[in-house]
Amino acid sequence: MAVFENARPFEKDVEDVERAVYGKSSSQDGADAADGDLTTTSASEKALLWKQDLRVVPLSAGIYLLCYLDRSNIGNAKVLNADTHNDLLSETNMSSYEYTIALMVFLIAYALFEVPSNYFLKKLRPSRWIAFLMLSWGAVTMGLGGAHTYAQVTGIRFLLGVMEAGLFPGLVFYLTFWYRTSERSIRVALILASATLAGAFGGAIAYGVGHMNGARGLSAWRWLFIIEGAPSCASALLVWFFLPDYPESAGWLTPREKELAKERLRVEGSKGNAKAMSWEDAKTVLTDWRLYAHYAVYFGISTPFSSLSLFTPSITSGLGYSNLQAQLMTVPPYAVAYVVTVAVSWSADHFNARGLHSAVFSFIGAMGFLASAVLPADAYLHRYGCLIVAASGAFACIPPLLGWLSSNLRSTAGAGLAIALNVSFGAPGQIVGVWIYETNEAKRGYPTGHWTNAALLLFVSAGCVALRVYYAWLNRRGRGKDGKAFAY
């Protein structure tokens, strides 16, 4: 399947890299010599990727895990020790409507500050900016443990949205400094999948913290915010010193490896030493109407992502589980979703078919929500299985979508803006997600939420298919204006 202008056989890419970096030619005398050079270069590239992966991916995944944990723990706080009226809503005298407003305010701030944050990430260096964000959102999360009124909860959640807004689009942008297009989806998946791990850990942590209710005069939900915010503050120091900024400035890469990294990303990556985005770069991105189809698709996936993040404890409590058991039963859906997300993203990269993978798994997620909506409210076991299917499909289609967008960007200088815009368009979808699981529908199995998520995932599936067909048509007509083929 032809997707890129430079999507030639791997051996040809290796020859070009070797020729540029080491001054070697593929036309050297003797097949044995050529084969030896190819083997050496292939081994050098693999060694470089492994070296980058060890430094970049685990740290990035850990950062996002902490971010997601601090963002979504309010869902656990809502139902934690509700049987004794020591939950968040009871102790702050918040109604379900006011709680939803507090969730929405976070997402408004999230949407407003994503694009500016990506600008500062490049301007101030990734390690510095991300460390600052981590310290800030960790402190704000701990501050939630001291909230006593609806106004305080809402104001603190707004500040949390401001501080967390830039992380995910920032990490996606950050990967473009280190990896080629065909290498990004699996790494975005490993980072995004840490959100599913955070969901699993969040439920397990909430289960344990629930037994601390009343310790030192604090309710368990207050301890939850304090305990989960502290690691972000402490980890900010590690990020400041250990998160590498760009290959060009990485002290742990040899000069030869830096040249190889630079040449590998000559066409398909962003440059650490490039100038900040100009107005002309921004204009190119803002007037590329093709990208708005990607943004619309991302809007569709954002509602299921948001609603699952915030309401999985409530959904499981409506499936016959109660109190702390409901917290514990949020773990399996996230654990399964983690495995599926990583596997799907690897497959999307391996077969170079990101749009098709997103279409298939968004459809699977839609079927999970659809079945949950039509099954009887008391079919607890069946609906719990559907929740696992829905979560797996909804999470798994996101990394290929992000990889697909970045592979079809024509301006590396504007990549940060396009990625941030894509995630920003998802913010209204996330706002929809906070409204669709209504408390008064708990006994009926939350049909509005399930129907809405099913419809939007079907929209995502159809949108991916339509984009796939459109790109194939453009490629048959002679590709884009710059002569490059569009990715499928």
Chain segment 171-191, per-residue pLDDT in tens: 888 888 898 877 877 887 788
Of 251 and 27, more confident: 251
Q: What is the secondary structure of 269-327 as a DSSP string?
A: S--TTSPPPPHHHHHHHHT-THHHHHHHHHHHHHHHHHHHHHHHHHHHHTTT--HHHHH
Q: Is the pLDDT of residue 86 over 70?
A: yes
Of 309 and 150, more confident: 150
Q: Is the pLDDT of residue 166 over 70?
A: yes
- What is the structure's pLDDT at 290? 86
**Residue type at position 159:** L
- What is the structure's pLDDT at 253? 92
Domains of the chain, CATH where assigned: 10-477 (1.20.1250.20)
Q: Is the pLDDT of residue 26 over 50?
A: no
Least-confidence region, from 13-17, 125-129, 186-190, 242-246: 13-17
Do residues 154 and 102 make contact, with C-beta atoms less than 8 angstroms apart? yes
Of 246 and 33, more confident: 246
d(CA 187, CA 24): 31
- What is the structure's pLDDT at 459? 97
* 26-52: average pLDDT: 61
Please state whether 353 falls in left (phi above 0), alpha (psi between -120 and 50) or beta.
beta
d(CA 358, CA 354): 6
| Alpha-carbon distances of 261 from 17, 77, 179, 269, rounded to whole Å | 10, 45, 9, 10
- What is the structure's pLDDT at 118? 73
Q: Is the pLDDT of residue 297 over 80?
A: yes
- What is the structure's pLDDT at 413? 59
DSSP annotation of 487 reads: P
Do residues 65 and 197 make contact, with C-beta atoms less than 8 angstroms apart? yes
- What is the structure's pLDDT at 267? 63
Do residues 17 and 45 make contact, with C-beta atoms less than 8 angstroms apart? yes
Model confidence, pTM: 0.76
Q: Is the pLDDT of residue 277 over 70?
A: no
pLDDT band at 12 (very low <50, low <70, confident <90, very high): very low
